[in-house]
Structure 1
Amino acid sequence: MPEIHEVATLTSKGQITLPKPIRQALGVDAGGKVAFDLRGGEIIVTRADAEHEDPAIEAFLGLLEADIRAGRHVQSLPDDLARAMLANAGHAVNLDEDIDGEVAL
């Protein structure tokens, strides 16, 4: 990663805006999460999901999002496949349960 030096101003609420070159280098946009680690008097800023990133899943989700945005019909997964995926992800499985709150893609 290239060396970048940027300065951000702390607001009265303790907030900062990450400068654009830093956001671009980290690959984060609005709604993205960053992690702050204090190490020996320095703060290290990283993408919060960087340790758990899976390129295959990211590519699949990107294709799925493109299909949805293009209005193409997305078939639902077979129940047994959905159960297996959720079980492997460590989530409780109840495909008949209603979804609480809004769903954003």
Structure 2
Amino acid sequence: MSAMYATITSKGQITLPVAARRALGLHEGQKLGIRIEGTTLVIDAPPDIESLRQRARAEAEAHGTWGTVPTANEGWVAHVDERYDERGRAKP
């Protein structure tokens, strides 16, 4: 894609050229990612929610936690069992 240009308004706004919007599949009201790399401003379309869900599921499956629902109590019970004996005294 060839170079494209936009003008910054007095309010700091720019209009993205139609070719850029089409190339990234952008639509009105969509949020964009903006970052600075050296002296370059990079604008990109963030991943859609479905791809984020798929990534989260893949990561959970890799860790063996997909389908489990942890509760706050489980962590507390493990902590207490590890540090205290059956009478509630701290383990040495």
TM-score normalized with structure 2 length: 0.50
**Larger gyration radius, structure 1 or structure 2:** 2
TM-score normalized with structure 1 length: 0.44
